[in-house]
Amino acid sequence: MITTICNDIAETIGNTPVVRIRHPLIPKGKKLFVKLEQFNPNLSVKDRTALGMINKAIETGRLKKGGTVIESTSGNLGKSLAMLGASIGFEVIIVVDPKVSSSALNWYKAFGAEVLIVTKQDSYGGYQSTRIDTVKKYVADNPEVYWPNQYDNNDNPNYHYHFTSKEVASMNVDLISGAISTGGHMSGIANGVKEINEDIRIAACDVVGSAILNKPFSPFLINGAGLSWRSKNIDESNIDVTVNITDEEAISICHELARTNGVLLGGSSGLSVMGALIGLQHSSVNSAMAICPDFGSNYLDQFYDEDWLKQKGVKLLECHTLFDRISTYAQEWVNKL
Ligand SMILES: Cc1ncc(COP(=O)(O)O)c(C=O)c1O
C-alpha cells in the first residue's frame, strides 16, 4: 500500500468516497449510493467550492498573498475559507448570524479568521440579507478586500462543472440527487454531467419553507440548504426534477441511515437521500446517488439530540410513513424522469 503525500491541505479536497446503502425503503433490485462530502478536510462539499473560488481569484489577480477575503456564511464555507487562508496565506473575515454554532465559531478562530456576528433580522425573519448587507458595506469601505460572494460568483458552479461533475458522472448511475442553497454545486454538476452523459437524470432537492424554487418563504430547521431568496447561481437548465421536502422527512431519513447503515449525515443530505429514494420509485431509475454535503457531527446537539427534537416539535417518522411520503412525491415526477 502506497501513502499519498499531499503538498498542502487543499490537495486533500475532493475524490470523496461513495457508499452503497441497504434499506427497506430502496425498491428490491435497485441501488442507492451516497457520495460522502464529509470526507473533505472540513467535512463538507464547501471545501470544493472555496477552493474553486479562491484559486480563480488568485489566478485573476483579485486576491493576492497577504490580502483579505470576506464572506457571509451560515457555517461550512467559512470553515473552508478560513482553512485556505491559513494554508495559502491570506486574512479571512467571516460574517455569521446568531444561528451559528459555537463549534463553528471556534473552528473559524482556530484557523485564525476574524468573525463578525450580525444580529438584525431581515424582512423575512432570517439573517441572510443582513449578512450580505454587512459584507457589501465592508467591501465598499475596503475595496481591496476580496468578496467571493458564493451566491452570484460563477467560479462557484464552474468549479463543480469542471471537477465535481466528472467524479459523480463516473459512477454511471441513472439519477444523481443533491441539495441546493446557492445552487453552486448542483448547477455545476448538472451542467457538467449532462455533457458527459445526457441520460443521467438530475434531481435538485430543497427544504419546505425555502424560496429558491419560487415558493413562498417560511422559516425551516435544516442548515445549509434553502434560502429566503433565489441566488444567481441557481441554473435549472440541466436539472430534470425538483422537490421541496419537509424538515421532518429529511431529519427522519438521516436518523434511519445512521441507525441502519452507520452513516451519519447532515440535514441537507437527508433532502438529497429523499430525492434519490423518490427517483428510485420510477421504472427508468434503477440506481441513484445522493450527494451528501456534510457530516452529521455538525448536528449532534441539534437534530441528533432528543431534547432538541422535542423542543422544536419534530417527530421522527416511521418507515411506513416515509414510504407513503416518498410515493406521494414520486407522483409529482411522473413523465419527468
Ligand atoms: C450542509 C450544506 N448543504 C447544502 C448546501 C448547498 O450547497 P450550494 O450552496 O452549493 O447549493 C450547503 C452550502 O452551504 C451546505 O453547507
Residue 94's DSSP bridge partners are: 71, 115
- Same fold for the pair 9-39+155-330 and 46-141: yes
Question: Which residue has its alpha carbon closest to ligand 1 atom 9?
Answer: 182
Nearest to 45 by CA among 208, 160, 131, 176: 160
Contact 293 CB / ligand 1 (< 6 Å): yes
Mean pLDDT (the chain) is: 96
Q: Where are the alpha helices (DSSP H) in the chain?
A: 46-59, 76-84, 102-110, 128-141, 155-159, 165-169, 184-196, 247-261, 267-280, 306-312, 319-332
Residue nearest to ligand 1 atom 3, measured at CA: 224
Angle made by CA atoms 332, 336, 337, in degrees to the nearest 5: 110
225 lines ligand 1 (CB under 6 A): yes
CB of 46 within 6 A of ligand 1: the answer is yes
Letter for the amino acid at 43? L
Distance 77 CA to ligand 1 centre (A): 8
3-state secondary structure of 4: coil
**Of the options 3.40.50.2300, 3.40.50.1100, 3.40.1800.10, 3.40.50.300, the CATH number for the domain spanning 46-141:** 3.40.50.1100
pLDDT in the model for residue 100: 82
Atom 1 of ligand 1: nearest residue by CA position = 224
Q: How much is the pLDDT for 1?
A: 80
pLDDT at residue 334 tops 90: yes
Residue 19: exposure state from Cβ atoms within 10 A (0-12, 13-18, ≥19): middle
Pair 111, 82: CB distance under 8 Å: yes
Average pLDDT over residues 287-311: 97
Partners of 10 in the β-ladder: none
- Is the distance from the beta carbon of residue 275 to the nearest atom of ligand 1 less than 6 Å? no
Provide DSSP, 70-111.
EEE-SSHHHHHHHHHIIIII-EEEEEE-TTS-HHHHHHHHHT
Q: What region, left, alpha or beta, does residue 178 occupy, with left being phi > 0 and alpha being psi -120 to 50 degrees?
A: beta
Instruction: Please report which confidence band the pLDDT of residue 203 belongs to, taking 50, 70 and 90 as the band edges.
Output: very high
pTM for this prediction: 0.96
* pLDDT over 80 at 74, yes or no: no
Could you say which DSSP state residue 9 is in? G
Is 232 buried (19+), middle (13-18) or exposed (0-12) by CB count in 10 A?
middle
23 close to 256: Cβ distance less than 8 angstroms: yes
Query: What is the C-alpha separation between 128 and 15, in angstroms, rounded?
Result: 31
In 10 A of CB 99, how many CB atoms? Answer: 11
CB 291 within 8 A of CB 177: yes
Nearby residues of 298 by Cβ (< 8 Å), 6 or more positions away? 43, 75, 76, 101, 103, 104, 223, 266
Average pLDDT rounded to a whole number, residues 47-58: 98
Ligand 1 atom at shortest distance from the alpha carbon of 294: 1
Q: Is the CB of 267 under 6 A from ligand 1?
A: no
Read off the pLDDT of each residue in 44-64 and give the average, rounded to a whole number: 97
* Residue 209 in contact with ligand 1 by CB distance below 6 A: no
pLDDT score, position 125: 77
CB 276 within 8 A of CB 288: yes
φ, ψ for residue 175, nearest 5 deg? -145, 140
Measure the CA–CA gap between 305 and 140, rounded to whole angstroms: 42
User: Would you state the cell numbers that stand for residue 171, as one nine-digit string?
Assistant: 459512477
Query: What topology is assigned to 9-39+155-330 in CATH?
Result: Rossmann fold (3.40.50)
- Reading phi first (left if > 0) and then psi (alpha if -120 to 50, else beta), residue 101 is in beta
Q: Could you read off the pLDDT of 90-131 as tens digits, one per residue?
A: 999 999 988 788 889 999 999 999 999 999 988 877 787 898
Per-domain residue ranges of the chain: 9-39+155-330, 46-141
Residues 200-212, buried b or exposed e (16+ Cβ, 10 A)? bbbbbbbbbbbbb
**Ligand 1 centre distance from Cα of residue 293 (Å):** 6
